[in-house]
Amino acid sequence: MTDLATQPRLDTPPLDVAALREEFPILAREVHGKPLVYLDNAATSQTPRRVMAAFEDYYGRYNANIHRGLHTLSDEATAAFEGTRETVRAFLNAADSREIIFTRGTTEAINLVANAWGRTNLHPGDEVLVSRMEHHSNIVPWQLLASQLGIVIKVIPVDARGVLDLDAYRGLFSERTRLVAVNHVSNAFGTVNPVREMAAIAHAHDALILIDGAQAAPHQAVDVRDIDADFYAFSGHKVYGPTGVGVLYGKAALLEAMPPWQGGGEMIQTVSFETPTTFAAIPHKFEAGTPAIAEVIALGEALRWMEGVGIDAIGAWEGQLLEAATSRLLRIEGLRILGTAPHKASVLSFVVEGAHAQDIGLLIDQLGVAIRTGHHCAQPLLNHFGVDATCRASFAAYNTLEEVEVFGDALERVIGMVR
């Protein structure tokens, strides 16, 4: 697996950014009379034409329900849907496509684990380790179980750079620790966590590890077998794909032992009022009802697009953008960057003395620059650093060094207006 921080610095872009941008029609639009500079990619990345075309192709040529029909359209839809499952398997280097479950996104994937695995295997007094830098979607499900089952949540601390304290992490384990829930990359600070090492530590204590990969999958190659992840989740709309679809990877033995979370069509083998209902084999046991067929097919197109561009090339270019943006922002008086880990993805969070994040976000939009402001669904982390909101710029493969300069200039202009 490759971290952005280990990518070599290149004198020229590792990909043809100008040609790549042509594949994203939204990047040609203007906002408030200014060319759009889209720097909110950690929330949602933009979508290339081939992903959009997948929707038109599905609804225009073979719109039908999957797994349930003998007619041609159903066969074609099923083949495309299951083809994406194989694409995801290869994308994550999972051992078996049965280990790939389609969900509505990372949030639903984590809730699936909490409800199907957690309610079966966790008992009063059992412990779940959760880092302070988690997205709320990897905190709240465990808090709900804590209130209902009496489990204990232990918090992995972070240092002043926004780096997890691995010594403290090791010290949190006890004979009651059952699961570690941690993100691969922080959505708020961009910190790349050493999940392979954390998985090894968890397994040495007979605990499992669930990894929120929503912010890692867009930026670096992910190998779930090399990490030895028990569960790994990511979302389509952060990997240049559609909203409303995501993935849960789980080791086959774990998934087979877990009960279904939701009941309905497709996830059953037999249903009767006289005998107990029996369930389908994995992964279908966890995919109740008609899925987001078009979205799944489009997700496959997005992942194939990423692989065609080159995931390492994407990561290397984003590393250059992050370095340039960091250097540019550090020249602005009164601006403080939060999250200075040595290993970072292309996320830049900052606060400005004497200016509120929301004011900056609203005003910089008037100059055509889209950034994210607020707590980024990471309130425990921001509160730990004494702030309730930050501005966050996040970069993707189609961003340019020229946009970094436009962003820096616009930010200085806005700060001068609000101070």
- Provide the annotated active-site residues: 377
Encode burial over 221-259: b for 16+ CB neighbours within 10 A, e otherwise: bbbbeebebbbbbbbbbbbbbbebbbbbbbbeebbeebe
CB contact at 8 A, 267 and 286 = yes
Give the whole-angstrom CA distance, residue 245 versus residue 298: 10
CB contact at 8 A, 109 and 233 = yes
Start-to-end Cα distance in the chain: 44
Residue type, 341: A
C-alpha distances in Å from residue 300, one per residue of 52, 62, 150, 369: 12, 16, 40, 30
C-alpha distances in Å from residue 125, one per residue of 111, 114, 122, 174, 314: 20, 16, 8, 11, 44
User: What is the residue whose two structure tokens read 């497709």?
Assistant: 266
Question: What's the helix, strand, coil split of the chain in %, to 5?
Answer: 45, 20, 40
H or E stretch covering 304: helix 293-309
The DSSP symbol for 118 reads: I
**Largest Cα span, the chain:** 74
* Cis bond upstream, residue 283 (ω within 30): yes
